[in-house]
Amino acid sequence: NAGVMQNPRHLVRRRGQEARLRCSPMKGHSHVYWYRQLPEEGLKFMVYLQKENIIDESGMPKERFSAEFPKEGPSILRIQQVVRGDSAAYFCASSPPERGASETQYFGPGTRLLVL
Amino acid sequence: TQLLEQSPQFLSIQEGENLTVYCNSSSVFSSLQWYRQEPGEGPVLLVTVVTGGEVKKLKRLTFQFGDARKDSSLHITAAQPGDTGLYLCASKEYGNKLVFGAGTILRVKS
């Protein structure tokens, strides 16, 4: 059973370009979470999605960032007009449908974004 | 948002030594998770503790949850170079989002 897959693993962008990060959850998982790990900082929650719905985006910057989890295909985290401060490791996690209790989140290997 | 404090920030020890890292909060945890993250990879869940006073063992790793559910510790016996990594504690908040501590970077030298 394949784990959470993220691609690309490394992404280099110049300031002003767009970055698209993809996440394929584990088989049978319908919940996806995105976290960001800035240099010298811990992991910070960004957004929680279920198929075709954004459940909680309280950790997302108000501008330039968006996320989706379509009915078919991977979840996408999109960063428009990237700036150097967006350089970080972006992790996706997935969990199965809840069964009355919180489910474990399984993390992917991350995408390292470098903005030049 | 709950604030999780981890200590120490860095720990460098020789192979075979024992160590303990800590995770504390001013408020009560509903549950607490410990993760290990290796360079270039994502966090991997080690254990979840739920009940105050709970002790869980995973080979040479012992996890304790404080009686008041405000603190937790991870003790490693006879550390090995393969234990090197970033150890993170995390608490789940309402809505399923995880709140992480800043982590303890452990380096075990052979």
High-pLDDT (> 90) share of chain B, %: 79
| 8 Å CB contact between B19 and B6 | no
List pLDDT tens digits, range A37-58: 987 778 999 999 998 899 999 9
Q: Mind telling me how many Å the CA of A71 is from chain B's nearest CA?
A: 21
Do A4 and B48 make contact, defined as CB atoms within 8 angstroms? no
By the CB < 8 Å criterion, does B40 face chain A? yes
What pLDDT score does A1 carry?
Answer: 54
- DSSP annotation of B53 reads T
Average pLDDT over residues A1-12: 91
Alpha-carbon distance B23 to B32, whole Å?
Answer: 9
Measure CB to CB from residue B100 to each of A4, A42, A102 and give the nearest one. A42
Q: Which residue in this structure is represented by tokens 């709970």?
A: B54
What pLDDT score does A102 carry?
Answer: 58
Do B98 and A43 make contact, defined as CB atoms within 8 angstroms? yes
In sequence order, the β-bridge partners of residue B89 are B34
Q: Least CA distance to A105: which residue of chain B? A: B45
Is B61 strand, coil or helix? strand
The tokens describing B68, both together, are 């008041």
By the CB < 8 Å criterion, does B85 face chain A? no
User: Mean pLDDT in each 10-residue stretch from start to end of chain B (110 residues)?
Assistant: 89 97 90 93 93 94 94 97 96 85 96
A68 — pLDDT class (breaks 50, 70, 90) = very high
Q: Mind telling me how many Å the CA of A52 is from chain B's nearest CA?
A: 17
